[in-house]
Chains A and B, each alone.
Chain A
Amino acid sequence: MPTGSTKRRLTSGAALVVAALVTTTACGGGDGGDSDSKGAGYNAALNKIANPSKKKGGTLKMVGKQDLDSADPQRAYYGMTWDFMRFYTRQLVTYDTKPGKAGTKLVPDLATSTAKISDDGKTYTYKLRDGLTWEDGSKLTSKDVKYGIERAWATDTITGGPGYIRQTLDPKTKYKGPYKDKGGLDAIETPDDQTIIFKLPKRNGDFEQFLAMPTGSPVKEAKDTKAKYTQRPFSSGPYKFQEYKSNKKIVLVRNDKWKKSSDPIRAALPDKIDVTISANQEENDKKLMEGDFDLDINGTGMTQSGRVSAVTDHRGNVDNMHTSFVRYVALIHNAKPFDNVHCRKAVFYATDFASIQQTRGGKVAAGDIANSTFPVAIPGYSKYDPYGVLERKGKPDVAKAKDELKQCGKPSGFTTKLTARSNNPGEVDAAEALQQALDKVGIKVQVDSLDGADTSSITGSPSVVKKRGYGMTMSGWGPDFPSGQGYAQPLFDSRFLNPTGNYNESQIKDKKVDALFDKAIAETDPAAAGEVYKELDKKILDQADWMPFLYEKNITWRGSRLTNAYMSDGYNGRYDYASLGVVK
């Protein structure tokens, strides 16, 4: 129809106009806003500190599309929230305020030193520092730490948040939480106000990692407003809430009762921290580039249009951040023909990793091609590459793929279904790139795109997966805390195979894998645990259970006003918020 073609021409013309306008306005705006100051340089915050400074004052201005999942320390589970919480919560131990991998080291925070661990590895003792205070000036004691941790047991009121401490200290959940059971949790003892002792029923070498999560934060019982605590948490850190309007605004101001002498971690440079939640991410990127805001609190990278103009015109304000996320395809074991290891290997050989990387935005915006199931920052990663993926620079090996298909008894290929999340930018495109590559060896893939929020109840439910006939699921995974347990156990351990909310998507049921986890977790030396995880990674790869394809990278904006900006592996590669300042 003639009208149809005119309309199409009109829209494509309009698209060109808007593209031109968007780019010119972005440059124009940037020139105006940043004329007096320049960024500290490309990747200036990667493994080093951009603009080191000790000057106090000013307002740190953050913007984000998404609000904190909860401001209640025992209920939060987003990485960005944990990073932000160091402004107003403290833990016995926390991540060191150092760039890169050094930021994964645990250092004492409320405690005078890291734990004194008994010889059997089951008793952890901490002494609290002197001069610890709450925002009303009252003394912060070991009982407050115990009470805060106990809140995590009140799962009907304190919903959300990780369950690690709960599962470790009370595996059978006998305790019902402080609201129902005034007796308190037996596994935590507070002989005096300065001492706290944890008694583990079973060794867990990562126990201090659990205490470093905001779940391990103290809460003052008299100020506990239960479910409503998220609206106004009571501060033990250098800042306190002045205003919190959920989905709109957070304003933190100095907590004048906090003593720097009691806190070696937090620099507390800005006078005020101002967070704006704003829905239009393209617009947020523009405002970042114009200097209205200093950084994106979500830390998930810029939008496509934003990163193009950021990289071209403001290279000095850009960091190519390595997150600890691995993008992967889980091959579902009991979905035919993936019950045969050769059919799984055929997928490894036939996959065009390089084209998936290109589809997602290339080496800079998407990330590096992956070989190990572990991200580089987690002990367990090695250069082991049994399928020669890195050697071929991500290109497929069609001959080997066909050979594996023959051994699998499917020489002409087979048909299967793959899921991808529609609201994860680029994931459906990546799934389609994989579809094309597998098609070349006769593996016909049907791509089923799902809403990301639904995945926990669809791909996370083995019965739904079976009913819908899925053979592969595409997704991304990052560690809750930087160890093999925090990263890999939900993915590969058969005891984590849940009827819903399951992340062992390959449905691996292997006693040897489970035994390796037990061995590594009981190990209190991280290096020794790392060696066990390397063995585990090798096993998973050899069996072709789970195919990693990218180590994720983001293009992140670092405002020109920011001082002490560096990316911390302790917070999945985000800037370490507690150290930031805004005055040079």
Chain B
Amino acid sequence: MLAYLIRRLIAVIIMVLVVLLATFTVFFMLPKWAGQDIAVLFAGKATGAEQIEGIRTKLGLDDPLLVQFWDFVKGIPMGRDYVNGSDVTHCPAPCFGYSFRTEAPVWETLKEALPVTLALAAGACVLWLAAGVATGVVSALKRGTFWDRSAMTIALGGVSLPVFFTGMIAMGIFVHQLGWVKIADSLSTDDSAGVWLQTMILPWIVLAFLNAAMYARLTRATMLEVLGEDYIRTARAKGLGEATVIRKHALRSAMTPILTVFGLDLGVLLGGAVLTESTFNLPGLGLEAVRAISSKDLPVILGVTLFAALAIAVANLVVDLMYAVIDPRVRLG
């Protein structure tokens, strides 16, 4: 078990480094190959030669890519000093880079955005797991009934409607028309739980609707498959109560594929729910990424990408470990 864990952790680190290198290449090398000057991108309207030269030194764009990459990686455990012209700024560990747009370490930005993304992901995934799995199970049991058909039609809607669409409608109705909830203009850890709840409730529901729909369909399909298995027939033949058969025998084994998907979804969500966060203006990682991309704030883009990759890798690892708990057939060795 321990050996397995170590192996997996090393794999996680390698994967994150590969993602980081790829991101580095996309943002630093591709423009160069296309003949663009990154320093000019940063300069915006100010185009004097000395301005552009200043930006180049400030961002360390003169160094070879591998050197830039190594400096960045080294900064995460060790911290790093950024030369800001005649000013030196220390970026303490964990240093995920330094944004010259906001003049602050990227980690500060990530640290502020993280609670928002965590809250959004946690609330939404509880909702969608509960609603999705329950709907799926009931639909599977009442296959072909009116309930099943209407639940699956709604689920189809949920799967096919994008978040910005359902989000705008939800806000139009519940915020502007009925005035039931008020969405805060910005969220921080200083705000009260009430403000967080008010702001989060719609995004939770909207995001959960999208995912619950998927989970309902998935649960229904897996449950139908499992319910046709011989061991279910055996369990029923033994005279076990229907509730026990469903809960302990069918659902438990149907959970394995759902858990796999869940792990991936949660990981992606922790990296920032870009559409949901932009629609509701939730200052989480996703919105931070969008802002960073539109203002070409490369260090923040790198920081968010790195964090997203980490989240997905770790979520996957956790799911793999959970298999052992849910399904004894899976042995880790």
Contact = CB atoms under 8 A, between A and B. Distances in A.
Interface string A276-298: 11111011001000100000000
A173 B49 CA distance: 11
B57 A156 contact: yes
Interface residues of B, number: 58
A277 to B, nearest CB: 8
B281 interface: yes
A77 B177 contact: no
A290 B176 contact: yes
A458 B36 contact: yes
Interface of A: 7, 10, 14, 17-18, 21-22, 24-26, 28-29, 32, 63, 69, 77, 154-163, 166-167, 173, 177, 179-180, 226-228, 230-231, 245-249, 276-280, 282-283, 286, 290, 453-454, 456-458, 460-461, 463-464, 467, 498, 500-503
A278 B291 CA distance: 10
Contact of B172 (A25, A156, A249): A25
A31 B58 CA distance: 52
B36 A454 contact: yes
Contacts of B290: 279
A457 B36 contact: yes
Most buried by A among B53, B161, B291: B291
A226 B169 contact: no
Contacts of B161: 14
Given A160-B46, A226-B85, 14 more contacts: A22-B172, A25-B172, A32-B179, A156-B57, A177-B86, A179-B86, A231-B102, A246-B102, A246-B104, A279-B277, A280-B279, A456-B43, A498-B47, A500-B40
Contacts of A29: 176-177
Contacts of A14: 161, 165
Contact of A162 (B46, B52, B103): B46
Given A155-B53, A456-B41, A21 B47 contact: no
Interface in B41-61: 41-55, 57-58
Contacts of B177: 24-25, 28-29
B87 interface: yes
B84 A500 contact: no
Contacts of B234: none
Contacts of A230: 102-103
Given A18-B168, A77-B46, A278-B281, A286 B296 contact: no
Nearest to A452: B294
A179 B88 CA distance: 12
B168 A159 contact: no
A21 B102 contact: no
A28 B176 contact: yes
Interface in B9-65: 31, 35-37, 40-55, 57-58
Contact of B283 (A77, A248, A280, A283): A248
Contact of A461 (B35, B55, B287): B35
Contacts of B45: 77, 162
